[in-house]
Chain A
């Protein structure tokens, strides 16, 4: 996933969180019954199919209402919402001594919406679906971590696998005869594999997929949560009603407050805000899944009436510019680009400090990865508005140390990839002007947003610099540093393998991944974040913020840190 921000703000965040917790505690009891409405301009929830669901808010929605996994995060505001708790399993998993085998025991009394029991066979089947090529968009962690002999290429998923191929998967994911215990064999030691199982990749799916196999399952999922789908029409609405076969006795944390949950799609963005602000239409019991329309931010956050029904907090993302190390081999030039950039002007394009976020000093965001964060040192003189003097010194140094690249960047120039859009074009103009002050010529490659990642993930089509963003898949920088900077990590847009020191870096990453002690592992990630910045493999952007508002009759809204969106579990309607 991908982006949030920093230390000085943490105390304020936790203070607000504490207030929200107490507010939630007092209001949740009176929030039961009624209908909660969510409004969005989107045409549909991108994926409800658990093996394809990989967007923070969609995951939070599904986890709360429809789909249980082996473990989950305890819903709550602030740090309380980041605690890993057992869900379908009886505990948060038991690793072997070598950390290459993880075992989960399933609870009693867990069923699908049709009353059929959930066993380890359904969980294993769900995991196997993530290997199928046609079930796109989901995370690839099962393929990356499970010890399927021959890897991803050897097992095509349950639809096309031969008996021999299926046996390869079954050897990696063992289901006990009594259906209660599932064991995952990993291809390398992993201290935090249980966090991976909070993703819905590790959710159960009925062996017949409810009669809607493959892609068709996306709109016809079989619920294991407290609600089930009554109707789902793309472009219109998703209606959830209570799942009578769900039992609170088998579920340690879901509150299931409203009687009905409705998602109304294809709503006009400005219209949504009007309903919520003025209490018209469905506005009184509605929350916008799209956040607040940018034009209305000032009005919402200056209104006394909205004071108790708005939030402005750090989401999970960090934005950055990936430096293609294979093309930009000269460290002083990479550093000069960073020093010369007018980050203040770029932040103003995204809502300034109040709504846009704080300047990032790396790729680990303190708001959601406090254990792994330590302020990066060595760039204290990087003025947000640009330090032209320092940048020029670095360019002078580059002229001597790497004359060929110096000539290239000052004559032919470097190219930055942008996902095309108005803000991107304005950002390019700002950066081009800033870099020109130290003689760096910047060119833009504006790429259609739909093809953007396809272009920048291909080393042949990627430019020197690429706009990017990232958020942790779970609350461990093991889902930040390795995917962004390890060769087979999945999103190594910085092409770090081209750096002469890559092997040493990769060895340090392997050490950190296998460290079972969370505190010392956090220190290792912080050191690697510092390493990345010293190498200038990325130019850090923002620890971003997000804003939400909701109707006057809703209770229990807070930001659920692991997903960077509202915690749906406590949202109810005032009695």
Chain B
């Protein structure tokens, strides 16, 4: 087991290294001159060239990548003289547009995204599973039909639409909910909750619908298995059959899915964060794309990829715990 985990961890590290290389090369190959992007309309050739040297864009691409990797482990210095500065390790670059180290930007943007992801994933997984179980137990009945219709509706409503409608009507037009004003929960919990409540719901709606439908299908499928029939033949109560025998195997694939969804969400919920003014990774990413802030785009892309890789690693390890056949392979 230990060897398996060690091996998978090594794979994950190698994968992250490859991703960083690919992302770096891809963004370096874009038809933009990052030095030119450091100043606007009234820029001069002298200023562009000075910034090219100061930010290291004058070096060959392979050397830029080596410096990028070095920065991750030992930090990186920019400029010289009294106006020089250092981005401490792990340094993922420097945003000239925002005048901040990329790592610092990511660290600031990460907590809001984590809270948004945890809240919404909990909401959609929890509620989705409960609704799915209810629909499965009332198969063919009114609750099943109602949940079916609602889930189709929720799945077909894109987040940018529900989010914009919620903001426009519930906050802007009627003033029923205070406008977004993000605070960390430990700074001001009431403001944190009032800001996050609506985004959690908006973001959870489509996922909730999908999980409800998946759960319904898994529960019904497992319920028709021989071992469930046997349990029922033994005279076990329906609650015991559901919670002990049906749900455990039925929800295993959903656990994997939920872990990956959470990892995906940690990369940032672009639309929701933008609509509700949540200063998270998603908004940082979209702003950086709009501003052609290439170092930040590289940083957010690598971080998002790292979340997926780590989530996959955890899932792989959990699978090996659940099913010994996996680690034997």
Which residue numbers of A lie inside 8 Å of B, CB to CB?
43-44, 54, 132-134, 136-140, 152-153, 159-160, 213-216, 218-219, 233-236, 264, 266-268, 270-271, 273-275, 278-282, 448, 450-451, 453-454, 457, 490-491
The interface centre, meaning the residue of B44, B51, B100, B283 with most chain A CB atoms within 10 A of its CB, is B44
Whether B40 lies near A137 (C-beta < 8 A) is yes
Whether B81 lies near A215 (C-beta < 8 A) is no
A–B Cβ pairs within 8 angstroms, 8 of them = A43-B287, A234-B98, A268-B167, A271-B179, A280-B175, A451-B36, A451-B292, A491-B42
CA–CA, A235 and B179, complex, Å: 15
Closest 10 A/B residue pairs (Cβ):
A274-B172, A214-B83, A280-B175, A136-B39, A281-B179, A450-B292, A133-B50, A454-B36, A235-B279, A159-B83
B99 to chain A, nearest CB (A): 5
A469 to chain B, nearest CB (A): 10
CA–CA, A134 and B49, complex, Å: 11
CA–CA, A81 and B39, complex, Å: 30
Whether B171 lies near A137 (C-beta < 8 A) is no
Q: List chain A residues, Cβ under 8 A from B283.
A: 235, 266
Whether B42 lies near A137 (C-beta < 8 A) is yes
**B255 located at the interface, meaning its Cβ lies under 8 Å from any Cβ of chain A in the complex:** no
The number of residues on chain B lying at the interface, defined by a beta carbon within 8 Å of a beta carbon of chain A, is 47
Whether A274 lies near B173 (C-beta < 8 A) is yes
Closest residue of chain A to B47 (Cβ to Cβ) is: A133
Which residue numbers of B lie inside 8 Å of A, CB to CB?
32-33, 36-44, 46-47, 50-51, 54, 79-83, 85, 98-100, 164, 167-168, 171-175, 178-179, 181-182, 274-277, 279, 283-284, 287, 291-292
CA–CA, A457 and B39, complex, Å: 13
Known: A136-B40, A236-B182. 8 other contacts (CB 8 A): A134-B50, A152-B44, A213-B83, A219-B99, A236-B279, A271-B172, A280-B172, A454-B43
Q: List chain A residues, Cβ under 8 A from B54.
A: 133-134
B34 to chain A, nearest CB (A): 10
Closest residue of chain A to B30 (Cβ to Cβ) is: A448
Whether B83 lies near A132 (C-beta < 8 A) is yes
Closest residue of chain A to B49 (Cβ to Cβ) is: A133
Whether A152 lies near B42 (C-beta < 8 A) is no
If A271-B179, A278-B173, A282-B179 touch, whether A453 touches B40 (CB-CB below 8 Å) is yes
Q: List chain A residues, Cβ under 8 A from B172.
A: 270-271, 273-275, 278, 280-281
Q: Which label, helix, strand, loop or mixed, suits the secondary structure of the A interface? A: loop
Q: List chain A residues, Cβ under 8 A from B80.
A: 160
Q: List chain B residues, Cβ under 8 A from A54.
A: 42
Q: List chain B residues, Cβ under 8 A from A457.
A: 43
The interface centre, meaning the residue of A133, A138, A278, A451 with most chain B CB atoms within 10 A of its CB, is A133
Q: List chain A residues, Cβ under 8 A from B179.
A: 271, 275, 280-282
Q: List chain B residues, Cβ under 8 A from A153.
A: 46
Contact check: which of A266, A271, A273, A450 meets B279 at CB < 8 Å? A266
Q: List chain B residues, Cβ under 8 A from A152.
A: 44, 46
Whether A453 lies near B83 (C-beta < 8 A) is no
Q: List chain A residues, Cβ under 8 A from B292.
A: 448, 450-451
Closest residue of chain B to A153 (Cβ to Cβ) is: B46
A152 to chain B, nearest CB (A): 7
CA–CA, A218 and B99, complex, Å: 8
